[in-house]
Structure 1
Amino acid sequence: MKSEGSSRSASPAADRLLVILPTYDEADTLEEVTARIFSAVPHAELLVVDDASPDGTGALAEHLAAVDPRISVLRRPRKLGLGTAYIAGFERAISGGYRWAVEMDADGSHLPEELPSLLAAAEGGAGLVIGTRWMPGGRIEGWPWYRRLISRLGTGVARVALRSRLRDATSGYRVLETKRLAVIEPSRITAQGYAFQVEVAWAFERLGALDPSCTVAEVPITFVERRAGRSKMTPGIVFEALRLVLQWGWRLRFAPGRLEAPAMVTTSSS
């Protein structure tokens, strides 16, 4: 086993990818999800970032890493949040020489069998590929109407406030090119939850306004409600996202110099 591991795959540098799986109480699904990822993309490497799960997820992840060199584990001392977990994974992907970092839920909501479609778009040149629910071919299974409404409203507010063209700014199923992540500087992304996903996506949109070679692609996916455990979505996460998106929208219009991420400088997206 290699906890907090470095690269151990024999995959060519040109297609190396690190799948980042943040976990908190995902012992019921983690083993199945990792097996399905490797079935879909055998050369993938996985980094499990566990926030001291009381259900033993961290220990299970270390057991899986002990028998499969493609898996590494980062165990954190307490629940530090989705955004910081992904930032840790992004920084590992950049420093480890991976070409792509992949965001994916560990609860089975994001189908590993659809990862090759996202990777195909990344191989086609996109700096960011988003698995999108709200486009032709995309769908959601098992969500009540209010969850659908929150998701649609979240993207709708982001589109208006940030002048975004994305159809699913809050989706957490993504492939990100690490050389673009390095420009954005992940450590400067500060939001959590829905807002984290919006902030990263908007940073890529802004970077694309400065560098047309950095494009954002959206690929339809099927999102499946988790079969085990409980959703981590809370009213606080929703309100944080709304507050931050409106704040960023105000800055975009009236104080562009105060936008914090390097990709969010004064050039506005149209």
Structure 2
Amino acid sequence: MTSLLGPAEVRRLAGELDVRPTKKLGQNFVHDPNTVRRIVTTAELSPDDVVLEVGPGLGSLTLALMPACREVVAVEIDPVLARKLPETAAERAPEGKLTVIEADALRVTQEQIGEPTALVANLPYNVAVPVVLHLLAILPSLRTGLVMVQAEVADRMAASPGGRVYGVPSVKLAWYAETKRAATVSRSVFWPVPNVDSALVRMVRRPPPADVDRERLFKLVDAAFAQRRKTLRAALGTWAGSPARAAEILTAAGVDPGLRGEQLTVTDFSRILEAADHHL
């Protein structure tokens, strides 16, 4: 029977390891068993899922995940935490299967991770979006994701075109998955208590919206948002070679050159790239 970590166990483990959560690694440890149970339920895992967890820390979420899936593959950058986690799991969730990889999630490779089917993680605040985009890019096997991130990052990840927080992360995530904000998480469930609220973001993988090169598309998106207040005609001037040529390409794609990047969907950007290729 799995035994989850409460506030006392989290502090005791941290004390034993002489671990102090660091701002540099964006660490905030969850110490509330109800919260990790809720995350696992919201993730809608099947017994066949291989779950990828990033930044498992002391193992609060790991222990809740293990009985709910076939295997947990945990990527931990901190060597002390990475060494301790298998012991904690063996002691508290003996029936489950866990693989711990000591690595930086931003640089980890598919060879190291294998073929996980679901991403479930309490992500370090400072690298949440780059980590998710890196993992979706290198792991076509990922079908679903549920990540806990800073509330305002969750809003950006799940934003629709036209909104104030819609930007590069919103467009790039939309290339891979349907993304929505699933729930808010109180700051009181963390140690140390962060000065912001968190939220859960749910992702369900879908086929790319167009048959264009992803890396080229992402460069186009970066260019469109590099100067947010500029119209697309101006913002894409350098990318296209000149504002006049940008306007031609946009018109050919059926996009008003007077619009701004935040008004376009990922499909609109794909049409612009296709139009540019036909206008060589």
TM-score band by shorter chain is 0.3 to 0.5
The structure with the largest alpha-carbon Rg is: 2
Identify the structure with bigger relative contact order (alpha carbons < 8 Å, sequence gap 6+): 1
> Structure 2 length as normaliser, TM-score?
0.37
- TM-score, reference length from structure 1: 0.38
